[in-house]
Structure 1
Amino acid sequence: MTSALEKYYATNYSNCNLEYNFLASWKGVAYPSHVFQFISLPFQIFAFYVIIFKTPVAMKNVKTPLLINHLFCALLDLLLCTFSTVYYFLPMYGVFFVGVFSWFGIPNVLQILLVWLMMMLTGASYVYFFKCRSSILVQNKFRITRQKTRMIYYSLFFIPWMLTTYFEKLIPEDQDAARQFALTLHPCPTREFFTSEVLIILADNILIERFIWIFPIFGVYFASFPLFQVSTLIYYICIAPSNTISKDTQQRQKVFLFCILFQIFIPLIAVLPAGWVFIVYLTGRYYQTMMNVTFCSLGLHGLAESIAIVTVHRPYRKAVSHMLTEFKKRRRSIKVLPFLANHTRHSVTTGQ
């Protein structure tokens, strides 16, 4: 800490009377995130196995998009829960990381860009998943068939990532002055603000007022891509199905559509706390515990996504059920073998 921050910590901060709260501390976001990743990893690996080896012929068109989507979801979880676990001060626009990368001295700016990029790649994998499904429908007039058009389409999705080079210039060079300014916005942060290498992203009231609305604008922009693809799927499958396919095929398409929508909806529940925190913040209230719980809940996204994959789709459910049945049979056979061996040995000994 600089002398000014040390003086503030020794005098003004003592008047805050903040009680220790595990969930509000760095441990409250680091430890649960690491535990969630430890629990999620076996499920993620199992989902990879099911997609690769248990995908039926009827689902071969979505095997690759589903695999890509699951890969980026797993990588995002690995980043947020293990390598770049985020501790964020919303009122002050400050951030530091408590993951593995911080142990090796990876700069905060680089980790922010990495997390932002991985979030965008995960979002793009959802768009790719729905686009591949909608492209299969011959009657779809919005199909993207040309490679050039496809590249333009995805380039539009990554415009916010390209703009990060501009936002990076807004980060104050004088971080000591920026941290003192941040204390005027939120005089009583957790002790981590003083004991950690916090990076203040914005230190200007005008920029902060404008920056607040960037989050919902970007959210609407990102959501428009998958929502457009979902809308075309719903329209051409449920509202205006092709007359050239049988009723049975139409019914199977509807069932599969509802399955993939349900599959996507389940992990998105883990993202809802982020919107709640933003709304509470706009009302003038903020609790660090809420922010930490939000980032912990994001760590459950991959677990929910993995479970959704193997439970929503009927072929995968049948494959998992078959594997569990075979596993139980093997366990029973392993238990029976020692009994038979002992019984045979006893028969030989007694002459029976």
Structure 2
Amino acid sequence: MTSALEKYYATNYSQCNLEYNFLASWKGVAYPSHIIQLISLPFQILAFYVIIFKTPISMKNVKTSLLINHLFCALLDLFLCTVCTVYFFLPMYGMFFVGVLSWFEVPNGVQLLIVWLSMTFAAASYVYVFESRNSTLVQNKFRMTQRRTRVIFYSLFLIPCLLAVFVGKVIPEDQDAAKLFALIEYPCPTREFFTSEVLILFADKTIIEGVVRFFPFGCAYISSFFLFQVATLIYYICIAPSNTTSRDTQQKQKVFLICILLQTSIPLFLGMCPIMLTFMAFLTGHYYQEMANLTFCSLGLHGMAESIAIVTVHRPYRKAINQMITDLKKRKSSIRVSPISVHGTSNSVTRG
């Protein structure tokens, strides 16, 4: 800490009378996130296995999109829970990281870029799930049959990545002055603000107001790509199906549509709701550090929810899991029976 921060910590901060709270501390986001990753890992591996080896021929045209979606969701979970675990000060637009990369003193800016890219590509993979399915419908007038069209579409979607470079340019170079500015806006943060290498993203009221106003627009912009593909798929499967498609095929298409809607909506709902609730609490002046920590912990649950959704909503994957469980039970029972049969045989031989 600089002399100005030390003075503030010794005088002004002592009047805050903040009691230690595990959930508000760095441990409150680091430890639960690491535990979540350990619990999620088996489900993620299982989802990889069933997609690669148990996808039936009827789902072959969506196998690649499901695998890509699961890959980026698993990577996002890995970065948020283990590699670049985030401790975020929302009222002060500051952060530091408590993941594995922080042990190697990787700069906060680099870790921020990694998290941002992982979130962007995970969001794009959800769009790709529906877009790839749309492209298989011959009657769909909006399907993308040319590589050029698909490149333009996803380039427009990835505009937030370009904005990340712009955000890097407005990050204050004088971080000590930025921290003092942040303390004026929020005078009583947790002690981690003084004991950790915090990165302040914004220290200008004009920029902060612009970010607050842009946030809903950015969410709407990203959501529009996803909603367009979903709406198009619903229209051409449920409202205006092809006349050349049999009723049996149409019914299978509707069932699969419901499955991918459930598969994608469950993890998206789990991830987006805490973010929106925390942001609304911040705008209304009812923000607490515990809320930010719980938000990032809930984001870490996204990968596990996505993995469980994959292996449960799709019937072929459920059957594969049930068969694996049945085979495992048979192996256990055979192991228990075989020593008895061998013992019985040896006794009969002895008596003979």
TM range (shorter): over 0.9
Counterparts of 2:59 and 2:220 in 1: how far apart (Å)? 31
Q: What residue is the counterpart of 2:244 in the other structure?
A: 244
Q: What residue is the counterpart of 2:106 in the other structure?
A: 106
Q: What residue is the counterpart of 1:32 in the other structure?
A: 32
Q: What residue is the counterpart of 2:338 in the other structure?
A: 337
What are the within-5 Å matches in structure 2 for residues 212-231 of structure 1? 212-231=212-231
Counterparts of 1:320 and 1:163 in 2: how far apart (Å)? 42
Q: Higher mean Cα deviation, 205-214 or 88-97? A: 205-214
Q: What residue is the counterpart of 2:167 in the other structure?
A: 167
Counterparts of 2:151 and 2:283 in 1: how far apart (Å)? 37
Q: What residue is the counterpart of 2:313 in the other structure?
A: 312
Q: What residue is the counterpart of 1:298 in the other structure?
A: 299
What are the within-5 Å matches in structure 2 for residues 87-166 of structure 1? 87-166=87-166
Residue 343 of structure 1, CA deviation = 2.5
Give the letter aligned to residue 128 of structure 1. Y
SS in 1 for 2:20: coil
Deviation track 1:70-127 (CA, whole Å, cap 9, x = no partner) reads 0000000000000000000000000100000111111111111111111111111111
Residue 346 of structure 1, CA deviation = 3.5
Residue 342 of structure 1, CA deviation = 2.5
Residue 213 of structure 1, CA deviation = 1.9
Q: What residue is the counterpart of 2:22 in the other structure?
A: 22
SS in 2 for 1:213: helix
SS in 1 for 2:18: coil
Give the letter aligned to residue 324 of structure 1. I
Counterparts of 1:11 and 1:40 in 2: how far apart (Å)? 44
Give the letter aligned to residue 288 of structure 1. Q
Counterparts of 1:333 and 1:166 in 2: how far apart (Å)? 63
Counterparts of 2:226 and 2:42 in 1: how far apart (Å)? 28
SS in 2 for 1:55: coil
Q: What residue is the counterpart of 2:47 in the other structure?
A: 47
Residue 270 of structure 1, CA deviation = 2.0
Counterparts of 1:214 and 1:346 in 2: how far apart (Å)? 82
Identity of aligned residues (%): 69
Q: Higher mean Cα deviation, 7-16 or 338-347? A: 338-347
Give the letter aligned to residue 341 of structure 1. V
Deviation track 1:33-86 (CA, whole Å, cap 9, x = no partner) reads 000000101110111000000000000000000000000000000000000000
SS in 2 for 1:128: helix
Counterparts of 1:289 and 1:338 in 2: how far apart (Å)? 56
Counterparts of 2:201 and 2:312 in 1: how far apart (Å)? 41
Measured on the aligned residues, the alpha-carbon RMSD in Å equals 1.0
TM-score (norm 1): 0.98
SS in 1 for 2:135: helix
Residue 128 of structure 1, CA deviation = 1.1
Counterparts of 2:165 and 2:76 in 1: how far apart (Å)? 21
Q: What residue is the counterpart of 1:235 in the other structure?
A: 235
Q: What residue is the counterpart of 1:262 in the other structure?
A: 262
Q: What residue is the counterpart of 1:78 in the other structure?
A: 78
Counterparts of 2:348 and 2:192 in 1: how far apart (Å)? 72
SS in 1 for 2:172: coil
Counterparts of 1:139 and 1:111 in 2: how far apart (Å)? 44
Counterparts of 1:235 and 1:326 in 2: how far apart (Å)? 41
Residue 302 of structure 1, CA deviation = 0.5
Counterparts of 1:333 and 1:255 in 2: how far apart (Å)? 38
Q: Which 4+ residue blocks in structure 1 deviate beyond 6 angstroms?
A: none
Residue 347 of structure 1, CA deviation = 3.5
Give the letter aligned to residue 174 of structure 2. D
* Residue ranges of structure 1 left out of the alignment (5+ in a row): none
1:284 aligns with 2:285: yes
Give the letter aligned to residue 313 of structure 1. H
Residue 258 of structure 1, CA deviation = 0.4
Give the letter aligned to residue 214 of structure 2. I
Give the letter aligned to residue 308 of structure 1. A
SS in 2 for 1:92: coil
Give the letter aligned to residue 224 of structure 1. S
Deviation track 1:284-324 (CA, whole Å, cap 9, x = no partner) reads 11100010000000000010000000000011111111111
1:327 aligns with 2:328: yes
TM-score (norm 2): 0.98
